[in-house]
Chain A
Amino acid sequence: MTSDKEAWDVVITPKRMWLGLNLKELRQYKDLIALMIRREFVSVYKQTIFGPLWFVFQPLMSTFLYMFVFGNIAQMGTDEIPQALFYFSGTMLWTFFATTLQKCSDTFINNAGLFGKVYFPRLTMPIAYVTNAFFTLLIQFAVMLVFYVYYLANGVQFSLSWWILTTPIYILQLALLGTGFGIMISALTTKYHDLRNLVSFGLSLLMYATPVVYPISSIPVRWKVLFQFNPVAPVIEMFRYSFFGKGSCNLKMWAYSLIVSVVVFLLGLMTFNHNEQTFIDVV
């Protein structure tokens, strides 16, 4: 007989974890994460004619539509930022956040078949989703720079600020918010599928509560209080301020949004950890 004191590699107990990232385990599955990112990325354009161009069509079309509807018909201001740049940057960032949130919130439901048959760290999927959205964002960012150079060449002055250096923080914030809310909802939707309908509907409404198609400066003062609750709003405003030198730079709101991002992410991680082991019984 062997003694019980020997080291076991795998111990399965009914206990459920709240907080904590098993980084060692995630590192073991790094090849899987890389392949999942590729799978997500490539499956967007497999068997399409335009291929990877699909990654930029969507924000471009939205930008043209917004220029027409909000810029020309509704005559809404853009803080004197060229319309194309204003709408494109907003859509690009919003899509990054919204896609991450939506994909992550479907983690358990979309992968029920896979999760029901084989074990791997469940966080692999949200990580793949957010990374995939990030690559899409990078491509779109490159397109934005093309617009940028075009306007520069046509004599438009941008007062670049040093805030441009904090761009990675804005992106990280959106990633934390999207993933955090997403995995939190994913843990809840396994039991209550209602939330799923709410997400796509809620996201499209929330876009209008975020300065995507209008600048914060165009909001009447008495409504501005409401904007303080939206953690995505200051990120988009700060991004525009950094690159175009116009718009609002409200550090208090940005600090608030930073704290919210971290808290949301940790809460999301907790609910996700707590549910990943038993979700298959209730999905």
Chain B
Amino acid sequence: MSTAVKVEHLSKEYRLGVIGNGSLWKDIQSWTAKLQGKPDPWTKINEESRIGKRERFWALKDINFEVQQGERLGIIGRNGAGKSTLLKILSQITAPTEGVVKMRGHVASLLEVGTGFHPEFTGRENIYLNGAILGMSKADIDRNFDEIVAFSEIEPEFIDTPVKRYSSGMYVRLAFAVAAHLNSEILIADEVLAVGDVKFQEKCLGKMKEVSEKQGRTILFVSHNIGAVRQLCQIGILLEHGAIVFSGSADEVATEYVKEIGC
């Protein structure tokens, strides 16, 4: 077994406050002052530079972990713990401020169900569009098309109707069906199961577990649903204020989390 994901000293910093009126003008003034070697005119009193400590915020600080190929990692934590930021960095949506992430294999991320669905397009067209956005080739989709439609439980006569006429349940089922047939080695999923009815959620969890066990895919899964994490994942990490406070088996981490939030 080899390492599929390796995260080293990962940190992400955000700048607080508003980028609003006059920020271009301020930026130019700060920049010209810097060129002339003068102090920044927008420095506040008792602050070292304009973007001082108070205007900065570390969403993630020095995160380190490794996931072996075929393992399913659950990432849990309260709102604002940095889970989504971590997934965004892993999905290459935003760059880290410090640190390195190394991954082996094709990565597909599922941060939202139905990303890139175009309401005017039919179900069939959207399967292709959505699949391509998630990194599938046309040949992959051709091969899996019937299976995707079957998995989504959408009656075949609806597949050539624009998705704007679908019920929200159909929309979500179709979207997840596409994602479930991604053939990437690493799958990153965030709260995607918060939608859909319980039965369909169960089916999705089952599908994810199945592809991971049979084809040795690595899954990184974020959820507030402790039950789902316990059911799907083997190992877990608990995030708090941008740092890992606990790691271990999924069960241990889930227990620790429940203890911490006190319910």
Binding site for B on A (CB under 8 A): 2, 6-14, 16, 28-29, 31-32, 34-35, 39, 42-43, 46-47, 113-120, 191-192, 194, 277-278, 280-282
Contacts and interface: CB of A to CB of B under 8 A. Distances in A.
Contacts of B19: 191, 282
Contacts of A278: 94-95
B93 A35 contact: no
A14 B118 contact: no
Contact of A9 (B93, B98, B106): B106
A31 B138 contact: yes
B121 A119 contact: no
Chain B interface bracket (under 10, 10 to 19, 20 to 34, 35 or more): 35 or more
Contacts of A13: 95-96, 99-101
Most buried by B among A11, A29, A35: A35
Given A117-B111, A118-B115, A8 B93 contact: no
Given A114-B115, A278-B94, A281-B94, A119 B132 contact: no
Interface of B: 2-3, 6, 14-15, 19, 23-24, 88-107, 109, 111-112, 115-116, 118, 120-121, 128-129, 132-138
Nearest to B101: A12
B98 A14 contact: yes
Contact of A39 (B24, B94, B118, B136): B118
A32 to B, nearest CB: 4
B207 to A, nearest CB: 20
A52 to B, nearest CB: 15
A280 B118 CA distance: 21
Nearest to A116: B93
A16 B136 CA distance: 26
The 9 closest A-B pairs by CB, nearest first: A32-B132, A277-B95, A119-B92, A12-B101, A8-B102, A10-B103, A31-B138, A117-B112, A46-B120
Nearest to A279: B94
B98 to A, nearest CB: 6
Nearest to B120: A46
A16 B95 contact: yes
B133 A194 contact: no
B34 to A, nearest CB: 18
A191 B111 CA distance: 24
B135 A29 contact: yes
Contact of A11 (B94, B100, B111): B100
A27 to B, nearest CB: 11
Contact of B14 (A16, A42, A281): A281
Given A16-B95, A43-B118, A192-B24, A35 B111 contact: no
A9 B95 contact: no
A117 B94 CA distance: 10
B28 to A, nearest CB: 11
Contact of B94 (A2, A28, A32, A280): A280
A115 B88 CA distance: 11
B101 to A, nearest CB: 4
Contact of B93 (A29, A47, A119, A282): A119
A278 B102 CA distance: 19
A31 B132 contact: yes
A115 B69 CA distance: 27
A35 B135 contact: no
B242 to A, nearest CB: 15
